[in-house]
Structure 1
Amino acid sequence: MFSAIRNAAACAGLAACAAIAPAHAVTPAAPVVAPEFAGIDTWLNSEPLTLAQLRGKVVLVDFWTFACGNCVSTLPAVRSWHAKYRDKGLVVVGVHTPEFPFERDAGNVRRAIERFGITYPVALDNGYATWAAYGNQYWPAFYLIDKHGRVAYTHVGEGDYAQTEAAIEKLLAER
């Protein structure tokens, strides 16, 4: 039953994500202070995190949901960045914001992160509080936060992985 729902939702999610998330990247003219994680009641793969405690590191906030095909397509790149740069100061935080009711279930998310091989922290944003704090409107969406806690780069949708990785490297090289 779950696999039938998951497959139907993945197709619906793929269409919905593709329709609302055109790929584009933005480097803000003047970086703004990144909003703190809000309304997160469950953390997977980690104790609760705050951006304040991550100051001095580069943080990739990845808004995703497990039944969105576009989100799933970005995971190999996100896992790769986590593996390649975590010892150089990058912290990846997946903010799982559900599109469908069954994506709110922590057990379903836990099984999905196991299936996708996600080992970085995942925050469950079931109430859309962090989503709203960032003014986010898309799945998937990346927000790169510099060592001073400012949003320095955003990317919406799939693709431009080399550009995003270059932004990660640039931010890691900054003091």
Structure 2
Amino acid sequence: MNLRLSRRHLLALAAAAAAPTAHAQVNAAALPDFGAAPEFTGIERWMNSDALTMSGLRGRVVMVDFWTFACINCQRTLPHVNRWAEAYTPQGLTIVGVHTPEFPFERSADNVAAAMKRLGVRHPVAQDNRYATWKAYANQYWPATYLIDAKGRIRYKHFGEGEYERTEAVIRALLAQR
């Protein structure tokens, strides 16, 4: 069987491969409701922001992103989180990084600030050295993403790397719903 393709077919295949893929679609009403989002609690300090509260963020879509700067998996997710902050903050998204340390050197505010600068983190970050907010969410993972709707309800959870297209689709759906 001859698999030679004409120049026209090759150009068509190249154009199709270069075309942006359609965004995943999510129906916000069909998302599960995991209950009310806990307040930020036991936060040692806030970086890039004054102190935030869930009640004060009501009406906005909120992403709570648990991370720690020495975690390679967290480092791999941050470019996506940073891009979402840049793209969707003007549309009503607030991303709050909750930096919960795994190792003693990650408790230092200076080390966290240096890592944030190196990793391009410009959204608000809560330093949760005592794991109070981590425990309030019953979280067990780095990284962990929780998306909260404008009414303060947790509507999406994702643990670890990946699912970036799905996460972004949920962000868009929750923003459209508000």
Pick the structure with greater CA Rg: 2
Which runs of at least 4 in structure 1 moved beyond 4 Å after TM superposition? none
Aligned equivalent of 1:86: 89
Per-residue deviation, 1:31: 3.3
Select the residue among 107, 113, 117 that pairs with 2:110.
107
Aligned equivalent of 1:10: none
When the two chains are superposed, the root-mean-square deviation of aligned CA atoms in Å is: 1.1
Does residue 56 of structure 1 match 2:59?
A: yes
Q: How far apart are the structure 2 equivalents of 1:105 and 1:78?
A: 22
Does residue 131 of structure 1 match 2:134?
A: yes
Aligned equivalent of 1:45: 48
Query: Deviations along 1:87-135, whole A, 9 cap, x unmatched?
Result: 0000000000000000000000000000011100000000000000000
Residue pair 2:32, 2:156 contacting (<8 A) in 1 also: no
TM-score normalised per structure 2: 0.82
Does residue 144 of structure 1 match 2:147?
A: yes
Q: How far apart are the structure 2 equivalents of 1:81 and 1:46?
A: 17
Q: How far apart are the structure 1 equivalents of 2:176 and 2:98?
A: 25
What amino acid does structure 2 have at the position aligned with 1:132?
K
Does residue 71 of structure 1 match 2:74?
A: yes
SS at match of 2:73: helix
Q: How far apart are the structure 1 equivalents of 2:119 and 2:74?
A: 11
Q: How far apart are the structure 2 equivalents of 1:171 and 1:163?
A: 12
Q: How far apart are the structure 2 equivalents of 1:38 and 1:93?
A: 13
Q: How far apart are the structure 1 equivalents of 2:150 and 2:31?
A: 16
